[in-house]
Structure 1
């Protein structure tokens, strides 16, 4: 202990302003203690009712405590203000330095609270699309699916998406249900091609591939619609016509399928329809 005191500077002293503040604080505390003691002695001697005496002692005690806090705030006001400004400056610097981390944590809270997706779901955020394999407070990891937005094959690349992105960008969840889902793909034709025959062939192939499980899908979608209060969609395969430009006809095929079998059933239908038939009117 004496060695520690010996290490202190011999010319250590406090500024005069601090000494004045300390003296003022000591006088304030001394005055409050004296007043409280005199007031308590007066109440105990002159108040005969025990209930009133206890209530007065408590009220005066709290009043003197409040008076002391107010006096300390007046005495040390400038120092407290400087300290508060320093704390605010440090807090602002901390927030600026950790802005991205705070946004990532906020994004994690948002996606968890909203139930945007779960582990294993296929999602798309901006141009990033893939199957969710990991979630943390700072980032979400997906296995990329592509190329493009219509393909369902994994590219072998892993994408780490910062959770801050979920605060500003919408999330598309392609795994709406756990067991059955709808799959949509488009087949383009020229206006002069025999797209009428191709439309019938696509519909027949879709019906043939979906027939073994179509009733199971219908039952499941009915349960989902009732539980979520939604109108039950038609589960039968359909082929609709779209005209994106004047010279083209696009046939859009929609059919029910399991989430992990969408690519397989799409390739099976296309292979069956275009294996032995050429729908183009241009012959070599």
Structure 2
């Protein structure tokens, strides 16, 4: 039995390509088994599951590289000594790959985000669902248009982007958000008499969560070390380039209720505007 095992090992060492293929297949099966075990039968993955799946993939990838390097060490050494010029050219040609590796190191050392965080890189917004040595995968969120829902798209960002674009962490927006809305009024009329009643209605909409919002706002201020606008609604008017008036409203509210409150506040403003400026008989 031992002799057969020895003969099999000698055969595989003589045919390293076959041995490499077997190693890759075996490691892939082990990885698939571990990932399936972590995932279980749930329909939606939790952040903890995503973290362990990412760690498993990264660990197995590193293990595979180490095993294959040990197997081909002699050949790699001979190749490196004989084709130094080619190796230098390869490094230059693989600049983007090197940047991805170093970008991964930069992300890990700065701890700019972890799996589950909402981030912005360039003009891409999303929740981090996986990161490895080469890329970061996010589920896209429509933050750019003032929405807070997933678009269903998955974006894979090469880690080299972290040297080109600033990484903005929007993780606190998963629970509460400073929601901005702008209502444009073409007529030049005095809008300020509408604001006290509108503010009262906004306060009524926020009454059931305002205490939690104040505490959460305080936590964010303490964590960030800056003075934030606060949890109370803010209303101010600005002028557009062609003379129109822009009513800017900002509220601090639960993320999942932002769109609902946006709709109600816009409706209240438009009804009040219609009643005050269009229901009066012309003199």
The two structures have a TM-score, normalised by structure 1, of: 0.58
Once residues 260 and 114 of structure 2 are traced to their aligned partners in structure 1, the CA distance between those partners, rounded to angstroms, is 23
Instruction: Give the deviation of 1:277 after TM superposition.
Output: 5.8
Once residues 116 and 189 of structure 2 are traced to their aligned partners in structure 1, the CA distance between those partners, rounded to angstroms, is 41
**Other structure's SS at 1:240 match:** strand
Once residues 159 and 204 of structure 1 are traced to their aligned partners in structure 2, the CA distance between those partners, rounded to angstroms, is 42
The answer as to whether partners of 1:194 and 1:279 remain within 8 angstroms in 2 is no
Instruction: Give the deviation of 1:236 after TM superposition.
Output: 1.0
- Counterpart in the other structure of 1:118: 114
Post-superposition Cα deviations, 1:50-78, rounded to whole Å, max 9, x if no partner, equal xxxxxxxxxxxxxxxxxxxxxxxxxxxxx
How many pairs align? 201
- Counterpart in the other structure of 1:176: 172
- Counterpart in the other structure of 2:210: 214
The answer as to whether partners of 2:135 and 2:157 remain within 8 angstroms in 1 is yes
**Larger displacement relative to structure 2 (225-234 or 209-218):** 225-234
Which ranges in structure 1 are unaligned for 5 or more consecutive residues? Answer: 1-82
**1:280–1:248 distance in 2 versus 1, CA, 3 Å:** farther
- Equivalent of 1:241, from 217, 225, 237? 237
- Equivalent of 1:146, from 139, 142, 165? 142
**1:157–1:115 distance in 2 versus 1, CA, 3 Å:** same
**1:215–1:161 distance in 2 versus 1, CA, 3 Å:** same
Post-superposition Cα deviations, 1:208-233, rounded to whole Å, max 9, x if no partner, equal 22222222222233344345533364
Once residues 145 and 227 of structure 1 are traced to their aligned partners in structure 2, the CA distance between those partners, rounded to angstroms, is 24
- Counterpart in the other structure of 2:262: 266
**Other structure's SS at 2:207 match:** helix
- Equivalent of 2:226, from 230, 240, 253? 230
- Counterpart in the other structure of 1:254: 250
- Counterpart in the other structure of 1:89: 85
Once residues 220 and 200 of structure 1 are traced to their aligned partners in structure 2, the CA distance between those partners, rounded to angstroms, is 26
Post-superposition Cα deviations, 1:92-144, rounded to whole Å, max 9, x if no partner, equal 22212322221112222222322323333332222222233222222222222
- Counterpart in the other structure of 2:102: 106
The answer as to whether partners of 2:235 and 2:249 remain within 8 angstroms in 1 is yes
RMSD between superposed Cα atoms in Å: 3.3
**1:264–1:131 distance in 2 versus 1, CA, 3 Å:** farther
Once residues 171 and 258 of structure 2 are traced to their aligned partners in structure 1, the CA distance between those partners, rounded to angstroms, is 11
Post-superposition Cα deviations, 1:216-258, rounded to whole Å, max 9, x if no partner, equal 2222333443455333642211112222424122122111122
**1:245–1:139 distance in 2 versus 1, CA, 3 Å:** same
Which ranges in structure 2 are unaligned for 5 or more consecutive residues? Answer: 1-78
Once residues 201 and 272 of structure 1 are traced to their aligned partners in structure 2, the CA distance between those partners, rounded to angstroms, is 9
